[in-house]
Structure 1
Amino acid sequence: MKQKIERIKSESFGKMKYAASERELYDIKVKCLGRNGSLTKILKSLKNMSPEKRKILGSLANQARRDVEETYQKRRKELSEQVDWEKERIDATLPGEKAEIGSLNPVSLVQREIEEIFSSMGFEIADGPEVETEWYNFDSLNVPPDHPARDMQDTFWLKSEKGKFVLRTHTSPVQVRYMQKNKPPFRIIVPGRVFRNEATDANHEHTFNQFEGLMVGLDISAANFRSTMKIFFEEFFQQKIEIRLRPSYFPFTEPSFEIDMNCLVCGGKGCPVCKYSGWIEIAGAGMVNQKVFEAAGYPKNKYQGFAFGGSIDRLAMMKYKIDDIRLFQSGDLRFITQF
């Protein structure tokens, strides 16, 4: 046992002498004097020895522990004095490394701007599910059973034993969902993703983003709608905008109209973008059909309101002069980091 104690002490001295760092030195000490260290185990085993043997070996083991600790402290001091403090010095006045910051997709930037503008006009932001029932997506909005929008060629239908479900083709179902839980007067916008089963090209995508608007009260008119949209577009594009309403047809509005704005590319003079008309179609709208009010549980002919829907993607394309709608979902960082 005496020889073992001497060997442990000698090995620890040798290893400490050539330790290259304080961390390495500390690990050597732990292996000898730590809770499960080789010398610690000997000290713990003394209780099982005879008094005479315990007295002799105890004295040797404790002296070895003191010697190892003293050697550790001396070598630690030597290593600390070897540190090149000038090399380790940190100049706190130097600028730090610039952290990489991600970029928002231009669609997200435009959506946030749309929400801010309409919120400033008193509109509430509403939301709804992207997986919709056939009733909310079509029936409640007065879309007849034989309407082309219900075809497999235009809509993504989902297989389910619980009923007929679709990936919503527009954000309009949120109109009915909101009206079922709220009473007029109110004004809301509904930004969100929609899905259409169509081939993609520079101007069309199967997944894109819309913003829906709805204002309902006792005496809402088309004039209220026109002024609301003019304020929005002028605030969004930060310039004077001319808009016009053209008669159109949508099952959920009556009367219905398309919204055109003067072409910002040519200033209304005519160019390939606006097909030399000076105007660009920007959204569809109309006065809410009374059948939609009835589907939501409102009494017929009591309330009036207007609804409109536009493409967030197209507004982003116009604002940032983007010529291919597919870029928004391409995942190309060279594109995203420009914004």
Structure 2
Amino acid sequence: MKVTLYTLIALIAFAANSLFCRMALAEGYIDAWSFTIVRLLSAAVCLSMIMATQSYYLRHRKLRLSHSFNEEILSERGNWLSSISLVIYALCFSIAYVELETGTGALILFSAVQLTMIGWGIYKKETLSHLQWIAFVIAITGFVYLMLPSASMPSLLAAMLMAISGVAWGIYSIRGKTCLSPLRATGFNFIRSLLAIPILLVAGFIYQNIMDVQLIHIDSITMEGIWLACASGAIASGIGYSIWYMAMPLLKNTQAAVIQLCVPVLAALLGVVILSEPITLTFMIASTVILSAVLVFILNKQPY
């Protein structure tokens, strides 16, 4: 039951992240580089406050946990590989998102995530049954059917950036299987990511001068853009990724990969509820196919 709850909350957070990003960047409320910086900063601040509270209670209150176990939790510091993966994912996603159609970006991103996580799962000897393979193919088919109408031929650079973003997210997810404290691992990963902010600013300005294009639009940043970036960082990313790290040890890599195919469906549902976007027949068919196939994949655990 715990794994179902954690996974569902994390998937909703991922979908909300997509919605916040779309609202902020597509409407021109903020540029991609500034969005990424505010997102990382707000997540680090939010998680630092939560970790400080957690540390106080673990050190000064009786939480029915042994002293040694409390110390193990407090010793969790995340790791640099996860932090670097997080920065690469966030930055490449934000930049590529502006250049790609929604369907194109989703197809490239989730294809990269699937290949990374399922490939690693197979490498780690995670066996899939025949029925699971069939369910996976059906889920992918439904996903392509959902995204293909809004897809278009992408630019090579944007496609590569989105693919890199997907690989980085796959690596970041896989790293969550070994953390002692999902909250502290995520928090310290975001705190480390702040070291990348000066690098991002310098790289952005250098890129602008060399390519004669403007990536950072400080004058056009609006409060709406800042609030959306903060919501994406503090809530959807900071808290959402912590919960995802709670779910990852309870899931196989292949399960975690396939389950994420539900994110575009949830994002579309949030778009219907929050942005009053219309429900199409394509969405209804594709959603039914994806959710049904993912359910079959999860429930079928024994290989043939």
TM-score, structure 2 normalization: 0.24
Which structure shows the higher helix fraction? Answer: 2
